Chains A and B, each alone.
Chain A
């Protein structure tokens, strides 16, 4: 049964969608507002600003791929839809970073978990980072608005066996667990959210806000990297872009010149501060790119007698916050427990080992479960996150040092996950570490975890949530933008994406970005006199 492709239908109806690599040389575009990035922040901004009657130009470095292109093919998706071909990592290679690079940004490839920003996080922002107007009460209508817009509601289908391990382990131990709200409508429960939803069930920006903006007359230019902002005094007077090559690895295409009276940056963590650094934007207090957070993730693998088939079914439907706040908001690192989708290529990268050992692990994939811990960074003085810097070719890279505060969180998370998996009936559990082995019992696992070396490259760390780097707050000495998302030094520049956050969120961040940006973009629309 063929699935309709509403994006291509819209293009056929006359939406203005341009591939920068195919434009004639040196075109100039003008609009009221230029938005750089079409992910969670850019998509929501585009819908609101275009809906308010402003002319909007939306620029995306990735290419336009729609449901007709999504084939549940891991390697193809990682190459086409992810930043740096899914090989993005921190400067010293210590943490792998999965981040979207396509129309819709990470929302096109995320696993649909949709949490409201935890109240302790918002309170901490007000107390420690001088953030105003984004408290738990003020944001309620924005959460409600975006949840309704994107069909966010708790998953009503039974969890797949991989998620059910998390539920069963928490039940057995008396730990908190809950069903995850997902942004889907008519989900087929396939399990391939990470390679682009082939049925248009996921209410990503590709399916919702970007089409709404195009319907309202916005222009989308994809395959265009914003290379530099043109600055004059305290104003941004243009955005210089360049078309990308076929594999999106090099900006070799036509140069584009964009002019607008207001500019919104929404390239996400790493890319938004990177663009500002390349543009030599004023940064008198040296805040730009600092305090970039990742929710560093570590993992444990468990073997079961029964089939788990973790590559099928909604990838995330159960989570546990048992360890999130129990040590205090600013104490030892808290973490959220979830599970990942378990397609073979990505699992091969996580299982580790080589030769007989690797094959023994991979040949049990169908009977394996993986639990992940999302470590909440940015709340403790010893958790300053990373700093975005520029490589010699001008592309951004995140320098994220690993310290003992983080290793302590990693160790406690290994223990929590292993205990949980044994409680759920695992026959053996292994921490995600280059020198680890499967432990046949909980006491043996505990001893193994205590004896591990906590060092870069030994501990397998990944991240799918880049946050911060252009932190918001009313004190210009400590923040890049004010609590409205307005740049402290550049008058007609707003930042409306995950790089705003002064700490990590403590939950998968998409709904936090949607709600905060919906709130700030609506204020911006009013200010621009629409």
Chain B
């Protein structure tokens, strides 16, 4: 899933021509703005990834009882996601980083997500509006971004035993 914005797509998004080198990977031009070092205690996710993902997870999952009741539910889900990412190929890790860069970098975050301030301060309505906009976009890039965030976060959440009771899943048999 190459996260690549063409010149035409960037222009359509109103990002102007300063970024619009033809068919660039967004990160390639912006790499200087973000660190690729994993956050403390993580193998792949970086410091800058944690705030948007922590803000997105509850909006993606919905009002799941365990999210409200369990201490550290969001952190547990992000650590689960990180463990999964660590086993993915470098190529896919890079694409996920590029997707998260779109959410992180001030230059792309506002125009692409409608969230202009910090993720911690974004309202649930703003985040939901961003997800709907990406899901229904005419741009392959944004629809793919929605699908990737949807699958990564929901798979990580529902891998956690704390998430199962709500689904009716009694858990795996013990051998």
Contacts and interface: CB of A to CB of B under 8 A. Distances in A.
Given A72-B173, A434-B135, A344 B144 contact: no
B92 A87 contact: yes
A80 interface: yes
A349 B164 CA distance: 15
Interface in A28-73: 71-73
A365 B169 contact: yes
Contacts of A456: 140, 143-144
A93 interface: yes
Q: Contact residue range for chain A?
A: 35 or more
A361 to B, nearest CB: 10
Task: Determine the main DSSP class of B at the interface with A.
Answer: helix
B84 A79 contact: yes
Task: Determine the main DSSP class of A at the interface with B.
Answer: loop
Contact of B87 (A1, A249, A353): A249
A345 B157 CA distance: 8
Interface residues of B, number: 48
Given A79-B87, A87-B92, A362-B167, A354 B62 contact: yes
Contacts of B150: 352-354
A212 interface: no
Contacts, number: 161
B86 A344 contact: no
Contacts of A362: 154, 158, 166-167
Given A75-B84, A349-B154, A355-B60, A3 B169 contact: no
A242 to B, nearest CB: 14
Nearest to A81: B87
B164 to A, nearest CB: 6
A356 interface: yes
Nearest to B160: A75
Interface in A295-322: 307, 309, 311-312
Nearest to A190: B173
A78 B167 CA distance: 21
A441 B157 CA distance: 31
Interface stretch (A114-122, A167-175, A391-399, A501-509): A391-399
Interface in A67-118: 71-75, 78-80, 84-89, 91-93
B159 to A, nearest CB: 4
A39 B151 CA distance: 28
Interface string A424-455: 00000000001100000000000000000001
A153 interface: no
Interface in A1-27: 1, 3
B140 A78 contact: no
Given A93-B1, A311-B169, A435-B136, A359 B155 contact: no
A91 B4 CA distance: 12
Nearest to A353: B150
Nearest to B132: A354
Given A74-B159, A355-B128, A435-B136, A85 B84 contact: yes
A363 interface: yes
7 contacts: A72-B173, A93-B1, A343-B169, A344-B158, A344-B164, A344-B169, A352-B150
Interface of A: 1, 3, 71-75, 78-80, 84-89, 91-93, 190, 192, 198-199, 247-250, 307, 309, 311-312, 343-349, 351-360, 362-367, 391, 393, 395, 397, 434-435, 455-458
Given A344-B163, A358-B62, 11 more contacts: A1-B175, A84-B89, A85-B89, A88-B92, A344-B158, A353-B150, A355-B131, A358-B60, A362-B158, A366-B168, A457-B140
